[in-house]
Structure 1
Amino acid sequence: MGGNTTSKDEIVEAYACKVGEMKDGEMREVSVGDGKALLVRHQGEYSAIGHKCTHYGAPLVKGALRDGRVRCPWHGACFNAKTGDIEDFPGLDCVPKHNIVIQDGDKVVIRACKSALETHKRYKPMVQTQNEDGPHVVIVGGGPASVTCAETLRQKSFLGKITILSADPYLPYDRTKLSKAMDIKPEAIFLRPQEFYDAVNIKIINNKRVNGVNAETQVVTCEDGDTFKYDKLMVATGGRPRTLPIPGWDLKNVYVLRTPNDANAIAEVAKGRKVVICGASFIGMEVAASLVSKAESISVCEFFSVPFERVLGKEVGLFLQKMHESKGVKFHMNASMVELKGENGAVAKAILKDGSELEADLVIAGVGMIPATEFLKDTGIQISSHGFVGVDRHMRALKSSGDGEIFENIYAAGDIAMFPQMLRDWQPSNIQHWQMAHYHGRVAGTNMVVPNDELQSVESVPFFWTQQYGKSLRYTGYGVGYDDIVIKGEVSEGKFCAYYTCKDQIVAIATMNSDPVAADFAQRMLSGKALTKSSI
């Protein structure tokens, strides 16, 4: 599967600027025919690529350019400024690449194929033939790490069989949208249509739950008795939402949010009803924002004193709380849910630790996840006490012996992986971001096929976002263990940059209405030029 152009494609040209008109590191959006292109000057050379991010369509001209890559201002995806290839995520596609011609010695002209201007997405070339007798890669899990791993294999000319075993009934989908648009239909958020997987011979088997792996015989077993022989295996099963071990949890209308079915059911039941959300997490607060205009009331109970206190700090957390309160959401902080009481088999009240009672027609838990790794228990793979899979810098599973030995043909990726992280001197970390799962999958897929002297590591800066009431907060870096927060701007006005520091080093940043500060900070961290506290 290749790009967007053919040899007979119509060529369109447009004058962009004079050679000396733009500075190094400058970007411009230029109209070309009926479309647009992003003109970039880097190290004295001009290049032109697609102007919109392939994830959600953000204008790349408002992003950050550094070290020859353009980073999306919204969610952190990166594109090579010369080739248009995607180099960091989220999203799966590259942007088109256009040609630059210097005319009359000083005129920069963009020359583009018309078809490449009609779309802002481009597939990276993938092999479409398959050797049925070739090696077999089995991927367990149906999330973004699985898809990027499979696509990377085909991009690297892997001709063997690729099988994705997914417990979901649907094709891999964009799970980040479930808490923001809860009535969305699964097919509207598929990462790829079935036709795509068919074209590049990636086989996805749905409703397939794996319950065992034999690392010696290289066989995966499933609950229904099916077995799959693998040459190389990647496990990217993600997690299941944590439930509360309290009386009444089995009552009707008590939900966790994991699947489109969960989201659709919650959206339907919540109409005109009293909703109680346990946990002021990012998912919990996005659910509150999504339902507040539909429900009769929404109450949130949270163990901490302020939402997002551990991650964002009290000042930013309190701002987000007040934003919700202005929409009618009620908060019960420093409060734990200890019991649910029902009427006629359905939940009717939520009881808090202090004895207070909240009327509840619907209860939703947003209290974290448990890694779905129980089936790896007796495989010899290193599993932490919390259920995370230990991997080396190349995403290869560590052996449980604890002496650093690896399984050469078993990989783990995504939310379940405890991986060496670049920003903390390669110390093991678990980062449950949509963007990071994509990157893990690409690294694993690459390392399955390249020689040992070309193995890749996870050299990515964590980037996540949340959107509530039309306001987007962006967060990049790794702020675990920060000791101070320096805030520039006005948090109360929703326009700020919060710098999270550890001693004199800025380890993370959260921004609102301050693009492209987060994107540029991520670029700086990636190049080893992160800011210090004294330089803010």
Structure 2
Amino acid sequence: MAGQSVVIVGAGQAGSDAAAALRSQGHTGPITLIGEESHLPYQRPPLSKAYLYPTGGVGLVDLELRPASFYDTQGVELLRGEEAVRIDRETRSLGLRSGRELRYDSLVLATGARPRKLPVPGAERPGVFVLRGADDAEALRQRLAEPDRTLNVVVIGAGFIGLELASTATRSGHRVTVVEAQPRVLQRALTEEMSDWLTAEHRSRGVRLLLRREVAELLGDGSGPVRAVRLGDGEELPADLAVVGIGVLPNVDLAVRAGLAVGDGILVDEHLRTSDPAIFAIGDCARFPSRQAGRPMRLESVQNASDQARCVAAAICGTPEPYTALPWFWSEQYGHRLQIAGLTAGHDRTVLLGHPAQARFSVLCFREGRLIGAESVNRAADHGIVRRLLTSGAELTPEQVAVPGFDLKDLNRQLV
């Protein structure tokens, strides 16, 4: 198997890491990595943070996952600006938009996800942005860097991307309004305690945060750029630019045309194989059986992309192991680092450690008396310890944590 041909569709975090993992795990056969963008594979998380600062000094070259020389020295053929359009499962070949045909023994789909479109009139106007790739970020950075001008920025959606962008735009001196249809920010991702703290933090920085409000139309003159965002109740928000961050959709079109099983992502088994055993799917596009959640799910995170890349490389190299990696996530807003270990959705009890007023605290989440995850602000040690606890399966009850003076570091010392 080490000498067989592997083709990887998608040159983001998952795809690039898969190519690297294949070589590090001993694969000696041809590897082809296909990316639709012209750039070298790069990190996406900084695009909503450091990259957008006009004076941040962060360029795309600083975000490259690996230098161009890596692909040359590792014998990875990197095809940039190419699009895969057809999979022939019988002949095990992949057709590209350019007309080129690639044969494969194993095919890895790392096609990622795309931003959801805002289904209202005016959503396609100039000045309305999404933030998914480097070109999106560069166009937005140029607008935010307009000299001697304070912009009215309307962010539609209070997810991670929306709140990170609100933080960046506010710290760059612009007036920011965030519109969210749900009762609280990051409702599906965070506990109520953490959601409420983030809401207060943004408002204390001058962000106008509107909850339970929906966008009805993006207004402008004729077909000109956006000038206002009209809400469902008729209120109009002045907008020099608007950014839409209402979630993403997995890129499954290629899989659908090939007849693979899909459903909110490309369906894979515990080894990340699709319904065709020669084809795998990883990263944002893959819906996999999650041991932590107890159900199939998709995860949009760097951790998941990288860990699945290593898992699929092992399967292709003939040493398959079930994908069981612990999920973890992070975000930066106003210089605060929010870290999440595990999956906290479905908790029935929380216990607070630390001091929210000092922006140094953790929310530990339990379900039926068992620790399932934690959310930490500026407490990296708590985050690391919880990850070790969840990985090891060590027991920790809410009653233990609620004892006055409890410190996770003491528990960690007992486990070492």
Settle same-fold status: TM greater than 0.5. Answer: yes
Alignment-derived partner of residue 318 in structure 1: 196
What is the CA deviation profile of residues 83-123 of structure 1, one whole-angstrom value per residue up to 9, with x for unaligned ones?
xxxxxxxxxxxxxxxxxxxxxxxxxxxxxxxxxxxxxxxxx
Alignment-derived partner of residue 302 in structure 1: 180
Q: Does 1:391 align with 2:268?
A: yes
Quote how far apart the aligned CAs of 1:520 are.
1.1
Alignment-derived partner of residue 346 in structure 1: 225
Quote how far apart the aligned CAs of 1:294 are.
2.9
Contact 1:145 1:442 in 2 (8 A): no
Tell me how far apart the structure 2 counterparts of residues 196 and 488 of structure 1 sit (CA, whole Å): 44
Tell me how far apart the structure 1 counterparts of residues 341 and 174 of structure 2 sit (CA, whole Å): 35
Alignment-derived partner of residue 215 in structure 1: 89
What is the CA deviation profile of residues 252-291 of structure 1, one whole-angstrom value per residue up to 9, with x for unaligned ones?
0100001122112112213421110000111111111111
Q: Percent identity?
A: 31
Q: The residue matched to 1:139 in structure 2 has which SS?
A: strand
Quote how far apart the aligned CAs of 1:523 are.
1.1
Tell me how far apart the structure 1 counterparts of residues 174 and 298 of structure 2 sit (CA, whole Å): 38
Tell me how far apart the structure 2 counterparts of residues 265 and 329 of structure 1 sit (CA, whole Å): 22
Quote how far apart the aligned CAs of 1:322 are.
1.8
Q: Does 1:480 align with 2:354?
A: no
Contact 1:251 1:346 in 2 (8 A): yes
Alignment-derived partner of residue 187 in structure 1: 61
Q: 2:113 aligns with which of 219, 232, 239?
A: 239
Alignment-derived partner of residue 428 in structure 1: 296
Contact 2:171 2:334 in 1 (8 A): no
Alignment-derived partner of residue 383 in structure 2: 518
Tell me how far apart the structure 1 counterparts of residues 395 and 118 of structure 2 sit (CA, whole Å): 40
Amino acid at match of 2:288: F
Q: Does 1:371 align with 2:250?
A: yes
Tell me how far apart the structure 2 counterparts of residues 377 and 514 of structure 1 sit (CA, whole Å): 43
Quote how far apart the aligned CAs of 1:514 are.
2.2
Q: The residue matched to 1:506 in structure 2 has which SS?
A: strand
Alignment-derived partner of residue 417 in structure 1: 286
Tell me how far apart the structure 1 counterparts of residues 261 and 400 of structure 2 sit (CA, whole Å): 41
Structure 1, unpaired ranges of 5+: 1-130, 400-406
Alignment-derived partner of residue 240 in structure 2: 361
Contact 2:339 2:380 in 1 (8 A): no
What is the CA deviation profile of residues 217-254 of structure 1, one whole-angstrom value per residue up to 9, with x for unaligned ones?
11111223222111110001110111101100111010
Q: Does 1:528 align with 2:393?
A: yes
Tell me how far apart the structure 1 counterparts of residues 376 and 26 of structure 2 sit (CA, whole Å): 40
Contact 2:193 2:363 in 1 (8 A): no
Larger radius of gyration: 1
Tell me how far apart the structure 1 counterparts of residues 261 and 397 of structure 2 sit (CA, whole Å): 36
Q: Does 1:257 align with 2:136?
A: no
Q: How does 1:31-180 map to 2 (within 5 A)?
A: 134-180=3-49
Structure 2, unpaired ranges of 5+: 53-57, 402-416
Alignment-derived partner of residue 280 in structure 1: 158
Q: The residue matched to 2:305 in structure 1 has which SS?
A: helix
Tell me how far apart the structure 2 counterparts of residues 169 and 308 of structure 1 sit (CA, whole Å): 33
Amino acid at match of 2:68: Q
Tell me how far apart the structure 2 counterparts of residues 509 and 530 of structure 1 sit (CA, whole Å): 14
Quote how far apart the aligned CAs of 1:530 are.
4.4
What is the CA deviation profile of residues 327-372 of structure 1, one whole-angstrom value per residue up to 9, with x for unaligned ones?
2211111111111011261001101111111000100011111111
Q: Does 1:328 align with 2:206?
A: yes
Alignment-derived partner of residue 440 in structure 1: 308
How many residues get paired? 390
Q: Tell me which of the two structures has the higher relative contact order, counting C-alpha pairs closer than 8 angstroms and 6 or more residues apart.
A: 2
Q: The residue matched to 2:178 in structure 1 has which SS?
A: strand
Amino acid at match of 2:260: I
Contact 1:185 1:260 in 2 (8 A): no
Q: Does 1:201 align with 2:78?
A: no
Q: In the superposition, relative to structure 1, how do residues 221 and 530 fare at CA in structure 2: closer, same or farther (>3 Å)?
A: farther
Per mean C-alpha deviation after superposition, the further-off stretch among 221-230 and 519-528 is: 221-230
Tell me how far apart the structure 2 counterparts of residues 159 and 377 of structure 1 sit (CA, whole Å): 30
Contact 1:246 1:338 in 2 (8 A): yes
Amino acid at match of 1:331: L
Amino acid at match of 1:185: G
Alignment-derived partner of residue 407 in structure 2: none
Contact 2:342 2:372 in 1 (8 A): yes
Tell me how far apart the structure 1 counterparts of residues 213 and 396 of structure 2 sit (CA, whole Å): 38
Contact 1:148 1:445 in 2 (8 A): no
Contact 1:277 1:364 in 2 (8 A): yes
Amino acid at match of 1:511: S
What is the CA deviation profile of residues 308-341 of structure 1, one whole-angstrom value per residue up to 9, with x for unaligned ones?
2332223221211221222221111111111101
Tell me how far apart the structure 1 counterparts of residues 45 and 122 of structure 2 sit (CA, whole Å): 29
What is the CA deviation profile of residues 110-155 of structure 1, one whole-angstrom value per residue up to 9, with x for unaligned ones?
xxxxxxxxxxxxxxxxxxxxx9xx5210000011211221112111
Tell me how far apart the structure 2 counterparts of residues 380 and 532 of structure 1 sit (CA, whole Å): 46
Tell me how far apart the structure 2 counterparts of residues 478 and 319 of structure 1 sit (CA, whole Å): 19
Q: 1:508 aligns with which of 356, 373, 386?
A: 373
Tell me how far apart the structure 1 counterparts of residues 73 and 113 of structure 2 sit (CA, whole Å): 30
Q: In the superposition, relative to structure 1, how do residues 199 and 283 fare at CA in structure 2: closer, same or farther (>3 Å)?
A: same
With normalisation by structure 2, the TM-score equals 0.90
Quote how far apart the aligned CAs of 1:526 are.
1.0
Tell me how far apart the structure 2 counterparts of residues 486 and 210 of structure 1 sit (CA, whole Å): 48
Alignment-derived partner of residue 467 in structure 1: 332
Tell me how far apart the structure 2 counterparts of residues 245 and 378 of structure 1 sit (CA, whole Å): 25
With normalisation by structure 1, the TM-score equals 0.70
Amino acid at match of 2:48: S
